[in-house]
Amino acid sequence: MAAFLGALPGTVPPGFELDSTRNPKYEWGFWPYPVEGGMHYQGRRWGGSEVYEASKTFQSYGVKWSPFDQRNREELLKAVPQSHKDFLSGLLWVHEHKVWFPPSTASATATGQAEERRVIAVHAGLAAGKTEPQLEALRSRAVEARVLQPEFGRFEAFSGRGAVTRLPADLERNWALGASPGASARGGDSSRCTAAAAVDEPPVRSVLISGHHGYKHISDNGERVIIDTGGGTLAGDLEAVVVPSYTVVCHTTDDDRHRPWTSRNPQRKAKDLLLLEIPSGDMAM
């Protein structure tokens, strides 16, 4: 949506052609009309195909989605408030946060004191290979960065699938000889909404958290978290993971998990919301 509206949340270097992000082999399935300054291919895909269900966004602004009408973009531009465009253009591509974890009994270097870890939150994940160049490009929101786009115009960190579900090797914990992670996810049934999926004393130096994939997964040592049981549908559970406790907070209980989450539902009961007291120092993602 942001790219379609010309509110791309990124840095476009001088002389860079946004229309160059479309692979010439793609001849349909995108919004084809000329735009002053060009448009990133992700924006053309959003506004010109049914994949991203743009019709619902158009409708929310009182505009009918007509991908074969060149005037359709101008209609949406007029309907979207400037404050919404400013919000979109200011979005970060990655969020990094320092969190203090309990000391790891599995690490040979454990000091018995809380350990500072880095939580990395990115929409889909990070690709295999060196992590820091990817993070540098994400921090600077570099539209032209090839390290983020094996296929130019498609950002793996935002729309990748199997290539970004694992933790990159250079983020993995370096274990001393004889050390064992010794931690496992409890309640880790990814098909159900559980009150807690805790990992005892998570032995990680970085925790990579993402959504996007339509399921829930917490690796045995807590270093890779995918939290997206909802998958953008009303039938799914809206969830968040709290670190460092690895508590999963969801909006329904197990016996009533498919009821739409809305205060306008007269059948909704108090137990539909699972409210947990988040410990001091924890952070919900």
Which of the two residues, 148 and 283, has the higher pLDDT score? 148
pLDDT at 275 over 80: no
- Alpha carbon distance 144, 167 (integer Å): 24
pLDDT at 199 over 70: no
Domain that holds residue 217: 94-174+203-250
Going from the C-alpha of 73 to that of each of 2, 49, 67, 208, the distances in angstroms are: 12, 14, 9, 36
Residues 86 and 154 in one domain: no
pLDDT in the model for residue 269: 33
State which of 40, 67, 90 marks the end of a domain: 90
pLDDT in the model for residue 103: 65
Binning pLDDT at 50, 70 and 90, where does residue 283 land? low
Q: Is residue 197 part of a domain?
A: no
Judge residue 57's burial from the number of C-beta atoms within 10 Å of its C-beta, 0-12 exposed, 13-18 middle, 19 or more buried. middle
Mean pLDDT of 66-70: 93
Q: Is residue 134 part of a domain?
A: yes
- Alpha carbon distance 251, 272 (integer Å): 6
Q: Is residue 128 part of a domain?
A: yes
Q: Quick check: helix, strand or coil at residue 207?
A: strand
The H-or-E segment that residue 135 falls in is: helix 131-140
Residues 64 and 126 in one domain: no
Residues 73 and 98 in one domain: no
Which of the two residues, 270 and 46, has the higher pLDDT score? 46
pTM for the structure as a whole:
0.76
Lay out the sheet containing 239-243: strands in order across.
247-250, 239-243, 283-284
Number of Cβ atoms within 10 Å of the Cβ of 131 = 18
Report the share of the chain in percent with pLDDT over 70: 73
140-197 per-position pLDDT tens digit: 999 999 999 988 888 999 999 999 999 998 887 543 322 333 333 333 444 444 444 4
Residues 55 and 79 in one domain: yes
Q: Is residue 198 part of a domain?
A: no
Residues 105 and 215 in one domain: yes
Residues 148 and 101 in one domain: yes
- Alpha carbon distance 86, 91 (integer Å): 9
Residues 83 and 130 in one domain: no
18-33 per-position pLDDT tens digit: 999 999 999 999 999 9
State which of 61, 90, 119 marks the end of a domain: 90
Domains held by the chain: number: 2
Residues 70 and 116 in one domain: no
Q: What is the mean pLDDT of the chain?
A: 78
